[in-house]
Structure 1
Amino acid sequence: MTNSISHIGNAFVPGIPPTGIQEAGTANPSGGPSFKELMLDSLHNANQIQLDSQQAIEKGLLGGDITQAEVFTSVKKADLALKMMVQMRNKLLEAYNEVQRMQL
């Protein structure tokens, strides 16, 4: 059995920078998406879920091929996506305000 924390090893050894810390303005070395891209993708996904919910409501009201349960599920998904985005915004504002309060 492998030790799950063995890869941490010498992350704080002098002369070796901790993993995940970058200089400002440098590219993401892992090739993954940036924080900005992740936030924008989340925002677009929440917006798309809201649009899908509106379409489901319209189909339900116009007698389309959709059940009430599907409409309800779609509305609840949109509600949860909106609540998640509000919480993400609140956490970002909280972090920003904390940085503002820091003294140099």
Structure 2
Amino acid sequence: MTDSINQISNMFSPGIPPVGFNDNTANSVASDVSFKDMMLQSLENVNQIQAQSQQSIERGLLGEDITQAEVFSSIKKADLALRMMVQMRNKLLEAYNEIQRMQM
């Protein structure tokens, strides 16, 4: 269970070292990844999870060797990934709007 949570959290934060990790190599890795690339990779990951969920639904409907629990799990994983991406978008828009309201 913990491994699956770590996989999901790592999916949205590639190249970002864990909190409290004070290695100089981790800082150079984090600085090499641009924000745009990180967001595009996150979008691609969410899209890939959605496609995998769709495939598991199709496999379940066709009667292939997949349990209902596995289908449900893939659907919930895709739902969680999409909700996380929507929340990230909302926070970005909120920050952008706040920057626009700033007076120079």
Compute the TM-score of the two structures, normalised by the length of structure 1. 0.70
1:46 match: 46
Following superposition, the deviation at residue 65 of structure 1 comes to 1.2
Paired residues in the alignment total 79
Give the number of the structure whose alpha-carbon radius of gyration is greater.
1
> Does residue 1:72 correspond to 2:72, yes or no?
yes
CA distance in 2, matches of 1:33, 1:66: 37
Superposed, 1:26-65 pairs within 5 Å as 31-65=31-65
Summarize the Cα distance change of 1:71–1:30 in structure 2 as closer, same or farther, 3 Å threshold: closer
1:92 match: 92
Stretches of structure 2 lacking an aligned partner (at least 5 in a row) = 1-19, 21-26
Q: Give the residue type in structure 2 aligned to 1:87.
A: Q
Summarize the Cα distance change of 1:97–1:31 in structure 2 as closer, same or farther, 3 Å threshold: closer
CA distance in 1, matches of 2:46, 2:92: 17
Which protein has greater RCO, CA pairs closer than 8 Å, 6+ apart? 2
Stretches of structure 1 lacking an aligned partner (at least 5 in a row) = 5-19, 21-27
Following superposition, the deviation at residue 81 of structure 1 comes to 0.4
Q: Give the residue type in structure 2 aligned to 1:32.
A: D
Which digits, 9 at most, give the CA deviation of each residue in 1:37-92, with x for residues without a partner?
A: 00001000000000000000000000011110100000000000000010000000
Which structure carries more helix by proportion?
2
RMSD: 2.1
Aligned identity (percent) is: 71
Following superposition, the deviation at residue 32 of structure 1 comes to 2.1
